[in-house]
Amino acid sequence: MKVTILGCYAATPRTLTHPTSQVLEIKNHLFLIDCGEGTQVQLRKQKVRFSKINHIFISHLHGDHFFGLPGLVATFRLLGRVNPLHIYGPKGIKEAVTLLLKLGDSWTNYPLHFHELSSQAPEVVFEDKKVTVTTIPLDHRVYTNGFLFREKVGSRKLEAQAVEAHGIDSCYFQNIKDGKDAPNKAGEIIPNAQLSSDPKPTKSYAFCSDTAYFPKIIAQIKEVTVLYHESTFLESESDLATKTKHSTASQAAKIAESAGVKSLILGHYSTRYDGLQPFKEEAEVYFKPVLLADDGREFEF
Amino acid sequence: MKVTILGCYAATPRTLTHPTSQVLEIKNHLFLIDCGEGTQVQLRKQKVRFSKINHIFISHLHGDHFFGLPGLVATFRLLGRVNPLHIYGPKGIKEAVTLLLKLGDSWTNYPLHFHELSSQAPEVVFEDKKVTVTTIPLDHRVYTNGFLFREKVGSRKLEAQAVEAHGIDSCYFQNIKDGKDAPNKAGEIIPNAQLSSDPKPTKSYAFCSDTAYFPKIIAQIKEVTVLYHESTFLESESDLATKTKHSTASQAAKIAESAGVKSLILGHYSTRYDGLQPFKEEAEVYFKPVLLADDGREFEF
């Protein structure tokens, strides 16, 4: 599982800081999360293969999270895209993108599917054999969802030596991977636990931005491998955080601690601060390890 | 008069090439022309003072000419803008910008005026004491206007020595600047030509992009100081130019030659070419001087 940060700063794009966008690589998917202005250039800089992005998840319709989307949709056409593109985001996103294309008498020559979201409760928005993506309703000034990406539990691991020692016929191998017991040649039933071991632990990634401090999400993100939580402000600006429905680094860390996550990535920093180290220091009072997102940074888990 | 090229490449924004946007400084105005994605970052890079931009002219509603506009309008609010902002562009531009702001529950805390254009004939869209801006209807796949920025003829220049030699009272000075004759102390009428000289020649800038080869514009841009004319292609791709309603460098130069302009700036290059020099060489067969726009380049006239 790999996260590539394309942009992790709040508000306006600047020369060296980019608004929110990131790519999550998980189980052969390349999921794009949020798409601030300039995202397509950041994708090029990070050498992400555009054509492999088939699903785009938009948290909310503030410009710094989606003003790069119409341009990306248009660029996909110019690049000769053929594969369907799925866009998940708040109600209204379809009207916005299609209006902008229509005004330019443009179109897509690939199937474009919008999945508009309006539920106040978590809902599964994508699922295949290996991954589920579930919304995480957040608390921001406009309707906002985080997204929980979770690998599905895989098959049990066949223990080759044990299987051979017991003389199990290969026709039972799939059954064993599925957790079933199997007979040996003498017809004795060998318990599954003797023939297989637990599947690889699954990984999970929770993207939570933008949001006020919102403990309601803790139950849903319990023990995820990685939590990306916004920390627009430091505690010194906690009044501003409350007023604008953003979080401080401390608050992000408290959520991480209560949810017992494995790692916390901070991001969506206000550009008022000179450096990022104070975010880490403030968060580490409550939780470790704290990782600092920065534009262009990659994290593997 | 100064032109700053923020972006002059066709189609998608790339790491080192930006879609169309430029700033024209003329008679104390800072006019922004077109606003492709990433324009606000280019404005920062070029150190243009955002707050001095009060008028934005959009040629047409293809993404590479206006997808940076919603973000710029939003950024103006974040920067605490107070002055009114005027946006001139094809019908539909108001709906697009206001929809994107509305979806984010956003607004502007400064007056935002849209001037929607739909005329097929040239029309004056801005005028003050020193400058007029007139649309130049172009021939592209969607409704498109170029813009002709023209300084107004100033007052005649008072010839201080002549005025003194003739003993003209200072109360007649404004009359003389306005082209009138004036009496000397003896009551004799001195012809204006003896008391003043012609005003400074006016400058003019014609922005013509995007457009097919369209000789109909020649009459309107006759003898302008500078013509910026798109040259998406070289003659080797003239079929493609015809098909997509763009121009070749040769065609741009033929327009410049027929209109007797002083200088031609080429731009809106397709990114298929390795360098810009062939555009210049191709155009110089028909017209000189040819200047090559490039992102970040400034031209003073």
Query: Does A140 share its domain with A175?
Result: no
pLDDT at A107: 85
Report residue B6's pLDDT band, with 50, 70 and 90 as the boundaries: very high
Please say if the pLDDT value at position B106 is more than 90.
no
What lies within 8 Å, CB to CB, of A243 at 6+ separation is: none
Query: Does A83 share its domain with A181?
Result: no
Residue predicted with more confidence, B18 or B108: B18
pLDDT at B7: 98
CB A257 within 8 A of CB A287: yes
Cα gap B251→B269, rounded to integer Å: 14
Rounded average pLDDT over B53-75 = 97
Catalytic residue (one of B34, B64, B210, B295): B64
What lies within 8 Å, CB to CB, of A148 at 6+ separation is: A122, A133, A134, A135, A136, A204, A205, A206, A207, A220, A221, A224
Closest CA in chain B for residue A106: B62
Rounded average pLDDT over A22-36 = 97
Rounded average pLDDT over A189-202 = 95
Query: Does A184 share its domain with A276?
Result: no
Of B170, B197, B224, the residue at which a domain comes to its end is B197
pLDDT digits over A260-270, tens only? 999 999 999 99
Rounded average pLDDT over A17-24 = 98
Of B167, B197, B227, the residue at which a domain comes to its end is B197
Q: What percent of chain A has pLDDT over 90?
A: 97
pLDDT at B24: 98
Structure tokens that stand for A113 in this block: 């599917």
Residues of chain A that touch chain B, judged by Cβ-Cβ distance less than 8 Å: 11-15, 37-38, 40-41, 44-45, 60-63, 67-68, 70-71, 74-75, 78-79, 90, 92-93, 95-96, 99-100, 103-106, 141-142
Report residue B202's pLDDT band, with 50, 70 and 90 as the boundaries: very high
CATH number of the domain residue B38 falls in:
3.60.15.10
Of B146, B177, B197, the residue at which a domain comes to its end is B197
pLDDT at B107: 85
pLDDT at A106: 86
pLDDT at A123: 98
Nearest-by-Cβ selection for A104 from B44, B61, B70 = B61
Q: How many domains are there within chain A?
A: 2
The size of the A-B interface in CB pairs under 8 A is 98
Query: Does A207 share its domain with A242?
Result: yes
Rounded average pLDDT over A169-187 = 95
| Domain around B276 | 2-154+200-300
Query: Does B163 share its domain with B85?
Result: no
The gap between the terminal CA atoms of chain B, to the nearest Å, is: 5
The DSSP letter of residue A38 is T
Rounded average pLDDT over B159-188 = 95
Query: Does A96 share its domain with A80?
Result: yes
Catalytic residue (one of A64, A169, A198, A274): A64
Query: Does A205 share its domain with A189?
Result: no
Q: Which residues of A112-185 form beta strands (DSSP E)?
A: 112-117, 124-127, 131-137, 145-151, 157-158, 182-183
Query: Does A182 share its domain with A283?
Result: no
Rounded average pLDDT over A172-184 = 96
| Number of C-beta neighbours around residue B164 at 10 A | 9
Query: Does A229 share its domain with A283?
Result: yes
Q: List CB contacts (< 8 A) between B74 and chain A.
A: 12, 63, 67
Nearest-by-Cβ selection for A71 from B37, B60, B75 = B37
Collapsing DSSP to helix, strand or coil, A26 comes out as strand
Structure tokens that stand for B196 in this block: 């003043």
Query: Does A148 share its domain with A174?
Result: no
Nearest-by-Cβ selection for A38 from B38, B61, B106 = B38
Query: Does A140 share its domain with A9?
Result: yes
Rounded average pLDDT over A176-201 = 95
How far, in whole angstroms, is CA A217 from its chain's centroid?
15
Report ipTM (2 d.p.).
0.91
Q: Distances from the Cα of A105 to the Cαs of A102, A175, A274, B241, B256, in angstroms? A: 5, 55, 44, 18, 29
Query: Does B262 share its domain with B294?
Result: yes
Q: List CB contacts (< 8 A) between B142 and chain A.
A: 104-105
Please provide the size of chain B in residues: 301
Best A37, A44, A47, A87 residue to mutate vs chain B (most B CBs within 10 Å):
A37
Q: List CB contacts (< 8 A) between B100 and chain A.
A: 63, 67, 96
Structure tokens that stand for B43 in this block: 């404005």
Rounded average pLDDT over B17-35 = 97
Cα gap B60→B36, rounded to integer Å: 11
B74 to A63: CB separation less than 8 angstroms, yes or no = yes
Q: List CB contacts (< 8 A) between B7 and chain A.
A: none
pTM of the model: 0.93
Nearest-by-Cβ selection for B70 from A40, A63, A92 = A63
